[in-house]
Amino acid sequence: MKVLAFDTTLEACSAALWQGGQVLAVERQHIVRGHAEALMPMVESVMAEAGFEYDALDLIAVTRGPGTFTGLRIGLAAARGLGLVCARPVLGLTSLEALAAGVPAGDESLFVAIDARRGEVYGQAFDASLVPLCEPFARSPAAAAEAIPEGPALVLGSGAALIRETQAGEWQRLRFSPGNEQPDAAVVAARAAALAAAGGLPEVPPAPLYLRQPDARLP
């Protein structure tokens, strides 16, 4: 299976081409703004490096949020457009699952926390096999910490430091990862291929996952 994947949900932009268990090409940039201008040249670059035409693709994968409102819409619009033009299915992964999937397999549970600003984190817990243990949510760090699974757990993402501040008495059972703050398109591609192989290809394009109202308001 040939999978083109990309991510624009947070403070990075990445694109990757995956086939048969390996990443053939990948590009990454750490950017706060400018995802719309950066994404398609990166997609063209990985396609050219892999030597594929768009009609050779089997699946397009994209992160669908939570994240920045503009960023996730850019990625979803590009994925839907390519899927329509190429007549290929589009599979959406949450940015929380994409971050969890980037952790090497182990025995501990995972808790992903993304700094959502305004005193909140986007969060979700997973078991060691990446099965979700709760629905994605937006809460204060203290309230989010209540969703950390019992037993050994790894807390990761840009909100991990905020969670750590609420867990002074739990450090013996919790590990906090200083990295893993941005979804990686290479991970998204591999995870999407595994999900498609296990459950078939999606028939409906992915919808954005916002979790809260936008900061912008009409006057």
Mean pLDDT of 177-204: 91
pLDDT computed for residue 199 by the predictor:
87
Residues of the chain with pLDDT > 90, as a percent, come to 84
DSSP for residue 139:
E
Listed range (2-11, 57-66, 141-150, 172-181) with the worst mean pLDDT:
172-181
Please check the confidence at residue 171 and state whether its pLDDT lies above 70.
no
> What's the pLDDT tens digit per position in 56-78?
999 999 999 999 999 999 999 99
Greater confidence, 125 or 212? 125
Listed range (29-33, 44-48, 176-180, 206-210) with the worst mean pLDDT:
176-180
- pLDDT band at 212, cuts 50/70/90? confident
Strands (E), the chain: 2-7, 13-19, 22-29, 59-63, 90-93, 109-117, 120-126, 137-139, 153-156, 174-176
pLDDT computed for residue 55 by the predictor:
94
- Are the C-beta atoms of residues 59 and 91 closer than 8 Å to each other? yes
Please check the confidence at residue 43 and state whether its pLDDT lies above 70.
yes
* Cβ-count burial 174-212 (b if 16+ within 10 Å, e if not): bebbeebbbbbbbbbbbbbbebbeeeeebeebbebbbbe
Q: Which domains does the chain carry?
A: 2-95+182-199 (3.30.420.40), 103-176 (3.30.420.40)
- pLDDT band at 216, cuts 50/70/90? low
